[in-house]
Amino acid sequence: MSGDHGHGDSQVNSGSKGSDSHKHKDKHKDKEHRHKDHKKDKEREKFKHSNSDHKDHSEKKHRDKEKLKHSDGSSDRHREKHKEKDKDKEKRREEKSGYHTNSTRSLHLYASRSVTVSSVIRDTVIVNISVYRFEYKPKKVKTEHDKKAKKRKHEYEEDEEDEPKKKTKDKKGTEGKKSKKEEEEKWKWWEEERYTDGSKWRFLEHKGPVFAPPYEPLPDKVRFYYDGKPMKLSAPAEEVATFFAKMLDHEYTTKDIFRKNFYKDWRKEMTSEEKSKITDLNKCNFSDMNEYFKAQSEARKQMSKEEKLKIKEENERLLQEYGFCIMDNHKERIGNFRIEPPGLFRGRGDHPKMGMLKRRIRPEDIIINCSKDSKHPKPPPGTKWKEVRHDNKVTWLASWTENIQGSIKYIMLNPSSRIKGEKDWQKYETARRLKKCVDRIRAQYRDDWKSKEMRIRQRAVALYFIDKLALRAGNEKEEGETADTVGCCSLRVEHIKLYPKLDDQEYVVEFDFLGKDSIRYYNKIPVEKRVFKNLQLFLENKQPEDDLFDRLNTSILNKHLQELMDGLTAKVFRTYNASITLQQQLKELSCSDDSIPAKVLSYNRANRAVAILCNHQRAPPKTFEKSMQNLQTKIDEKQNQLSAARKQLKAAKADHKASHDDKSKKAVEVKRKAVQRIEEQLMKLQVQATDREENKQIALGTSKLNYLDPRISVAWCKKWAVPIEKIYNKTQREKFAWAIDMAEKDYEF
DNA sequence: CATTATACTTAGAAAATGGTAA
DNA sequence: TTACCATTTTCTAAGTATAATG
């Protein structure tokens, strides 16, 4: 079966779909209405036929019942109770041993497993570049966290040769030394016991967050003009005006909603005189302010080295003082120790609240979390914390409530910390457990497509989409509070189109909706007949703005999944399918004869396959075209160099033929080497160009960081003798230290 | 049951950094 | 040295999941 992933057509950040959100105003009402219609009709929901045959007439009967349901009675949605009552929320301890058992599996197992992620990249043409091959001497893979890392300076240097850019000698030197020194203190939390009582820590001490610097009024020469006349603003009004002025070049400031929201909140900061004077945003001229800020940032760039160094040192000091905490005897890096500064809210997509004022956070807004027996952080002089609590069932150090959505923001640890790492590891172990039972689960949902209960069919079809297409769960969202985006369970009728026949394919479903971050998901995919028929059924008597799965939500789905496997939720499918795809693609694409750059390209292509599956898109970089051109220029130059070098080689050979002396022989060798070197360089450039072109609209980072079991990558690096640095940068190596330390070359996901 | 609150993961854009070519 | 550019880091919005509440 092959489907068209169709991402070629897809549009990044398309806001076009959100524009009809007004249509959904009555959605909830409608839904409720529908519930009621269903209530007394539970029996009718059952199908008489067992449905082993799927003849049209049986579908027809079903439709008739549905019609009945839509016209009377009341709701039974969500009524079916899960009889199996809450199995104990026992923590899953067995996971810890997971990798030990698996790491002993041999390579042939790796090769014989058949993966059934049907949807995955069937048609993303991934061709290994076998053209580029040349000699490669196996080297020891380096890992900073390896015990032996200390002795490895020499190898380090060898490895660096692969990367044309990193040739500076002292960089190598310092990096080598640094990793030696730090490595001695590296704590292998993954070799320790975990808490089993639900507590996250025993001891927690930190210095509290760093607040945004206070507002500095503009110099008098920087003017704000209203209706063409200069006007001095009060400090609070001026501050908010600067937020807008700083964004003048951004498209946001041209959007009606943004301007409206900004203006409304700005007025709240104005004095009564200002309020009465300023009555129209269109008469406000911020361009002088805007230019001032541009000049400022220009000046910052032009600062002398010393000044820059001073700033850097100050930042370093702040980091040292506030950027770490002590958690259970270990110093751990904090992720975001700076409180978000005030500004204008930048929602993504068609966000109804864009432009609203994000207010300044004060100590009085902050809840501190730390252990009782720690030195509590001091609030800035003359201020107080909102609260100091000691809750070791949570991982955050500080929190505050944000004023746009009223949600809570947290200060938490860096991904390299034990507390994040353990959780990450556990996530992949859950996904690996899914691997063991995914066949069973798939069989079950296929079976459920035939269920006599509507809710079961919907659940089964939704799960099929989540599994096959790696869709997100799709929680309900409050209308009007956020951009209109959906996931699987919240898909609406308007988001899919059914084609009984399309070109030469049957039963094609076209998806077109905005997902998380208002990234468009567009895909045309053939599905099984039974799925198709079910979808037709779900669409009966519905308006475009009605829910496709009106008897399903994420809570119902996840409760069901929990019964199928401990710890199973919708998002586990994404993790599982992403990781298994990487593993499978790596196996398919890797070629031992390839050079390191070619291998890395293969890795990136496997990574890309996953990113496409998960629909991780990015706006093509503004400078993309130019940067491709630059690269092409380099390639052309290199080609010229090559032909020149070849000519020289030829000449040298001729010379040698004539003279047959030692000197000319040497010259030939020298030229031959030169040609070889240039060929390699050219190859590298070409690989780079290919990689970049393929990556134009695809973001690899998200999947690499959040979906791919790092042990797969580490194992691959070991197996093919690719230095881990080619795959993970420093930050990523810190985050995945546990995987780098524990995974061997035969690790299997 | 439905709704709301809470905690934590996942996400792309923008800013900062730092190496390299001019 | 500077300007440019790719890569890395930071930022914080936007999801998921589930517990608490009514």
Query: Which nucleotide is the nearest neighbour of A75, by CA and C1'?
Result: B1
- CA atom of A554 to C1′ atom of B13, Å: 29
3-state secondary structure of A187: coil
Q: How far is CA A87 from CA A92, A427, A566, in A?
A: 13, 20, 9
- C-alpha–C-alpha distance, residues A356 and A271, integer Å: 19
Rounded CA-CA distance A321/A207 in Å is: 7
Give the 3-state secondary structure of A107-149: HHHHHHCCCCCCCCCCCCCCCCCCCCECCCCCCCCCCCCCHHH
Higher model confidence: residue A322 or residue A50?
A322
Report how far residue A697's alpha carbon sits from residue A121's, in angstroms, rounded to the nearest whole number.
16
> How would you classify residue A461: left for phi > 0, otherwise alpha for psi between -120 and 50, otherwise beta?
alpha
- The Cα A287–Cα A110 span in angstroms is 62
User: Phi first, then psi: what are they for A741, rounded to 5°?
Assistant: -75, -35
* Strand C proximal to A346 Cβ, under 7 A: yes
Smallest CA–C1' distance to C2, residue: A302
Residues in a beta bridge with A594: A133
Per-residue pLDDT at A556 exceeds 90: yes
Task: Give the burial string for A366-401 (b: 16+ CB within 10 Å, else e).
Answer: bbbbbbeeeebbebeeeeebbebeeebeebbbbbbe
Residue A702: per-residue pLDDT: 96
Please report, rounded to a whole number, the percentage of residues in chain A having pLDDT higher than 70.
Answer: 75
Q: What is the pLDDT of residue A185?
A: 67
pLDDT at A467 over 90: yes
- CB-CB neighbours of A597 under 10 Å: 23
- The string of pLDDT tens digits covering residues A611-641 is 999 999 988 877 887 888 877 888 888 888 8
Q: From the CA of A250, how many Å to the C1' of B22?
A: 31
pLDDT in tens, A78-107: 333 233 333 333 333 333 322 222 222 221
pLDDT digits over A726-735, tens only?
999 999 999 9
Residue A534: both structure tokens together: 């079910």
- Contact between A703 and A638 under an 8 Å Cβ cutoff? The reply is no
**A600: three-class secondary structure by DSSP:** helix
How far, CA to CA in Å, does A67 sit from each of A41, A454, A642?
Answer: 11, 13, 74
Give the residue among A253, A485, A248, A258 at the shortest CA–CA distance from A354.
A258
Question: Is the per-residue pLDDT at A654 higher than 50?
Answer: yes
**DSSP bridge partners of A284:** A226
Higher pLDDT, A576 or A314: A576
Joined tokens for residue A42: 């539970």
Q: Would you name the residues of A annotated as active-site residues?
A: 707
Dihedral, CA atoms, A167, A170, A174, A175, nearest 10 degrees?
0
Check pLDDT > 50 for residue A498.
yes
Q: What is the C-alpha separation between A341 and A734, in angstroms, rounded?
A: 28
Q: What is the CA radius of gyration of chain A?
A: 30
SS3 A624: helix
Length of chain A: 749
Dihedral-angle region of residue A510 (phi above 0 means left; psi in -120 to 50 means alpha; beta otherwise):
beta
Give yes or no for residue A208 having a pLDDT over 50. Answer: yes
The widest CA-to-CA distance across chain A, in whole angstroms, is: 104
| Beta-strand pair A387-389/A229-231 | unpaired
A731 C-beta less than 7 Å away from strand C? yes
Cβ-count burial of A8 within 10 angstroms (0-12 exposed, 13-18 middle, 19+ buried)? Answer: exposed
CB burial of A218-255 (b: ≥16 within 10 Å; e: otherwise) equals beeebbbebeeeeeebeeebbbbbbbbbbbbeeebbeb
Whether A491 sits with its Cβ under 7 A from any strand C atom: the answer reads no
CA atoms within 13 A on the CB side of A670: 10
Indicate whether A394 pLDDT > 90.
yes
- Separation in Å: C2 C1' and A630 CA: 19
Handedness of CA A173, A176, A180, A182 (dihedral sign): positive
A126-180 residue pLDDT tens:
322 222 222 222 222 223 333 333 322 222 222 332 333 333 333 333 333 334 4
pLDDT tens per residue, range A678-708: 888 888 888 778 878 888 899 999 999 999 9
pTM for the whole thing? Answer: 0.77
Angle between helices A27-39 and A56-71 (to 10 degrees): 100
Which pLDDT score is estimated for A136? 25
Which residue's CA shows the smallest distance to C1' of C5?
Answer: A627
For A548, counting Cβ atoms within 10 Å of its Cβ (0-12 exposed, 13-18 middle, 19+ buried), the class is buried
Q: Is A10's pLDDT higher than 80?
A: no
| A510-555 pLDDT, tens digit each | 999 999 999 999 999 999 999 999 999 999 999 999 999 999 999 9
Which residues are A579's β-sheet partners?
none
- As a rounded value in angstroms, the CA-to-C1' distance for A618 and C5 is 19
- Per the structure, the residue whose CA is closest to nucleotide C4 at C1' is A627
What average pLDDT does the segment A563-586 reach? 97
> Does residue A126 contact residue A584 with C-beta atoms inside 8 Å?
no
pLDDT for A98 equals 29
Query: Beta carbon of A482 within 7 Å of strand C?
Result: yes
Distance from CA of residue A354 to its chain's centroid?
Answer: 22
Q: Which nucleotides of C are covered by protein (CB under 7 A)?
A: 5-19
> Which secondary-structure segment (H or E) carries A87?
none
Q: Confidence band (pLDDT; 50, 70, 90) for A111?
A: very low
Instruction: Indicate whether A9 pLDDT > 90.
Output: no
Across chain A, what does the average pLDDT equal?
A: 79
Burial A452-464 (b: 16+ CB within 10 A, else e): eebbbbbbbbbbb
- Of A16-20, A81-85, A450-454, A650-654, the one with minimum mean pLDDT is A81-85
Spatial strand order in the sheet of A408-411: A387-389, A367-369, A398-401, A408-411
Provide the terminal-to-terminal Cα distance of chain A, rounded to the nearest Å.
25
C1' of nucleotide C7: residue with nearest CA: A729
The Cα A376–Cα A358 span in angstroms is: 28
Protein-contacted positions of strand B (CB under 7 Å): 1-14, 16-17, 19-20
Query: In the 3-class helix/strand/coil scheme, how is A40-79 assigned residue by residue?
Result: CCHHHHCCCCCCCCCCHHHHHHHHHHHHHHHHCCCCCCCC
Q: Let me know: does A189 contact A248? Beta carbons within 8 Å.
A: no
Output the pLDDT for position A663: 86
What is the average pLDDT across A28-49?
34
Amino acid (1-letter code) at residue A119: S
Percentage of residues of chain A with pLDDT beyond 90: 60
